[in-house]
Amino acid sequence: MTTPNDVRSDVYALLDDLLPVLKPGAHLDRDQDCVVLPRAHDRIRVATDSLLGACAPEPSTRWPRTVEGWLAGIDRQIAEADAGLESAGQLRLQALPRDTAEDGMTIPFNSAFDLRLLANQSDSTRLIRRSDLERLDIAPEEAVRIALDQTVSEVLVGLDIQSQQLPGNASVRVASEEGNPSVSAGIAIVSHLAGEDSPHGALVAVPRHSMIIVQPVRTRQDLSTVGILEGFARSMFDDAPDACSPLLYWFVDGDAHPIGTEPVAEGGPQLVLSPPLANAANRLPR
Indicate if 123 and 177 belong to the same structural domain.
no
Report residue 74's pLDDT band, with 50, 70 and 90 as the boundaries: confident
Is 2 a residue whose pLDDT tops 70? no
Tell if the pTM clears 0.75, that is, is over it. no
Q: What's the CA gap between 273 and 258, in Å, rounded?
A: 8
What confidence score (pLDDT) does residue 211 get? 96
Residue-wise pLDDT tens digits, 51-67: 999 999 999 999 999 99
Same domain, 172 and 231: yes
Position 171 pLDDT exceeds 90: no
Calpha distance 114→69 (Å, rounded):
35
CB burial of residue 168 (10 Å; 0-12, 13-18, 19+): exposed
Query: How many structural domains is the chain composed of?
Result: 3
**What CA–CA distances, in Å, run from 116 to 113, 154, 192, 236?**
10, 17, 21, 22
Residues 162-178, mean pLDDT to the nearest whole number: 88
Domain end marker among 156, 172, 201: 156
44 pLDDT more than 90? no
Domain check: are 177 and 150 in the same one?
A: no
Q: The domain containing residue 188 runs over which residues? A: 161-282
Nearest to 140 by CA among 91, 84, 99: 91
Residues 6+ apart with CB under 8 A from 69: none
Of 30, 59, 83, the last residue of a domain is 83
* Same domain membership, residue 43 and residue 14: yes
Residues 168 and 152 in one domain: no
